[in-house]
Amino acid sequence: MRFGLALPHYDFSLDARRVSFDAVAGWARRAEALGFDSVWVSDHFFLSLGRYGGPDRPQGSLEPLTTLAGLAAVTQRVRLGTLVLCAPFRHPAVLAKQATALDLLSGGRVELGIGAGWYREEFEAFGYRFGTVGERFRILEETVRALGLLLPGGPATFEGRHVALREAYNHPPPAQRPRPPIWIGAKGGERALRLAARHADGWNTVWRWTPRAYGERVAVARRICEEEGRDPTTLRLSLGLATLVGEDERDLVARFRALQRWTPGGALDGELLDAYAVDTLTGTPERVVERLAAFAELGVEEVIVGAASVPFAIFDPGMVELFAEAVIPAARGL
């Protein structure tokens, strides 16, 4: 099993300090030194913590693709992923050129996660049509299909409702051949899983899952692959999980209490540790490895660590180090 780290690239990510590239780059280098296999950023113009029980006000963020370009220059080994890009924000021709350039300058380290978008407020603030879920998904579908044609180099011809290509070339092509991996980011509805089965390399979902609930969606994904004539074992699976590790039970309790105090808006106030652990990656190193083994049995090849109770934040650097030292080596062979 491989391990990624969700990088802290929002205003709320590091003790409510304003986001800075230096801080994000520092964590990317740290993740590489600690033995993580990948680092990941998300795609929002801004994000409110109201969705997660915190203050309902806009929080700033760094744009993902330019951030990853900067990280490519300060790292050597870790793969650089988007978790996930919002398809309606970028025409696939522009996105193909951006992803190709990033893949070339990083030496072939790009993982291209993409989704339909869900955050109405940012669509409306910046003049994008939010529309229906179906409309946004249609844009995602056409974008993924167009990327599949463009990224290898072309010529690409495609006629959709939102995207049209006519003998379009993407030269020079990316470093990875035929192209960087494409991941569909979604909760696991049938339409998204069918898109992944038809046109993508893998499916990713985040942040709170039990093995049982996740396994139910994997079973659907495998059925859809068979219906589409695809070997189900070729659909790659990655999973982001909110993560909390303690050296022992006493340390785990102390870290959970610290997490409760840190969590914006008191969203974890009153929640019991056992309840929080049900659908997160929480426990001593031994228990966490057991939970990882359950996900590995379902086919998960990479787990992306969310090192706080809200996405793309780090509340306890020592916890990330403990995970790297006590969990990653023990779970490598899963």
CATH class for the region spanning 2-83+206-331 = alpha beta
Q: Is the pLDDT of residue 141 over 80?
A: yes
Mean pLDDT of 230-237: 99
Contact present, 47 and 119 (Cβ < 8 Å):
yes
The verdict on pTM exceeding 0.85 is: yes
Q: Helices (H) and strands (E) in the chain — how many of each?
A: 12, 14
For residue 309, give the nearest of 249, 253, 272, 264 by alpha carbon.
264
Split at pLDDT 50, 70, 90, the class of 231 is very high
DSSP assignment of 65-104, as one string?
A: HHHHHHHHHH-SSSEEEES-EEGGGS-HHHHHHHHHHHHH
Mean pLDDT of 148-153: 98
Distance (Å, rounded) from C-alpha 271 to C-alpha 61? 29
Contact present, 208 and 242 (Cβ < 8 Å):
yes
Distance (Å, rounded) from C-alpha 192 to C-alpha 254? 39
Q: Is the pLDDT of residue 17 over 80?
A: no
pLDDT at 267: 83
Ranges of each domain in the chain: 2-83+206-331, 91-182
Mean pLDDT of 267-279: 94
Contact present, 45 and 103 (Cβ < 8 Å):
no
Q: Rounded to whole angstroms, what are the CA distances from 259 to 92, 282, 315?
A: 39, 12, 7
